[in-house]
Amino acid sequence: MICLRTKPYKLKLNAKDSAMYGTSPNDTIKIATPINVRASLYALLGNLLLQVPDQATLERLAALEGSNGDIGSAVDTLSQIAKSMNPGSVEREFNVLFIGVGRGEVLPYASYYLTGFLHEKPLADLRAKMRSLGMQRKQGISEPEDHLGALCEMMAGMITGAFGQPMPLQTQKEFFNAHIAPWASHCFSDLEKAENALLYAPVGSLGRLFVEIEQESFRIE
């Protein structure tokens, strides 16, 4: 999978972004971002879901600024909680939520949410789609490709051109509707409400809100 890492800077939503995200043009988010708001949010979610945030990541999260609307509120909550966390505490939370003894509280895989089992048809369908789009898993990565974090990274890469050229909005829409829309909001909601979620509760909120906005935006596209 790709791993998008860029320097953090202040990103101001423009009118076009605001129309897509239902936020005010005055909203401001400090975030490590490639190109635009959609890609930056996908990249942020992918990074947080796939690996334990290190100290540098916690510091970037603590510097996030959101204002106005539900997404801004989720960003502010994430920022405030990140200020109270350290790498050890967030690693323990990550392990309980996603790894656990036997299994974590949340299994963020399309196959699991859509069939109740891992490594099922949703994963096979995704792999076929990835081949058709020229995507492939990075060597040394064992995580199944239908992990929600991996799917977020794929969407970020489709937007930014990480797989060659930025992919048309119609291609993004088809990928999102087939592989993310049927289950991701439910998964993020489960994360939001997970018993042991502290830092990851607002991550769940942010992800759920973002997926809902993407669904509505693609619906009217």
CA dihedral 114, 115, 121, 127 (to 10 degrees): 40
Please check whether residue 172 is in contact with residue 157, taking contact to mean a CB–CB distance below 8 angstroms: no
Chunked mean pLDDT (size 10), the chain, 221 residues: 33 30 34 66 97 97 90 96 98 97 95 98 98 91 94 97 95 98 98 98 98 94 71
For residue 10, what pLDDT is reported?
34
For residue 139, what pLDDT is reported?
85
**Residue of 179, 191, 127, 134 whose CA lies nearest to 152:** 179
**Quick one: residue 143, left, alpha or beta (phi over 0 = left, psi -120 to 50 = alpha)?**
beta
For residue 6, what pLDDT is reported?
32
For residue 12, what pLDDT is reported?
32
For residue 101, what pLDDT is reported?
86
For residue 113, what pLDDT is reported?
98
* CB within 8 Å of 13: residues ≥ 6 apart: 21, 23, 24, 25, 26, 27, 28, 29, 37
pTM for this model (two decimals): 0.84
Measured in degrees and rounded to the nearest 5, phi and psi for residue 32 equal -75, 110
Helix, strand or coil, per DSSP, at residue 67: coil
Diameter of the chain by CA atoms? 47
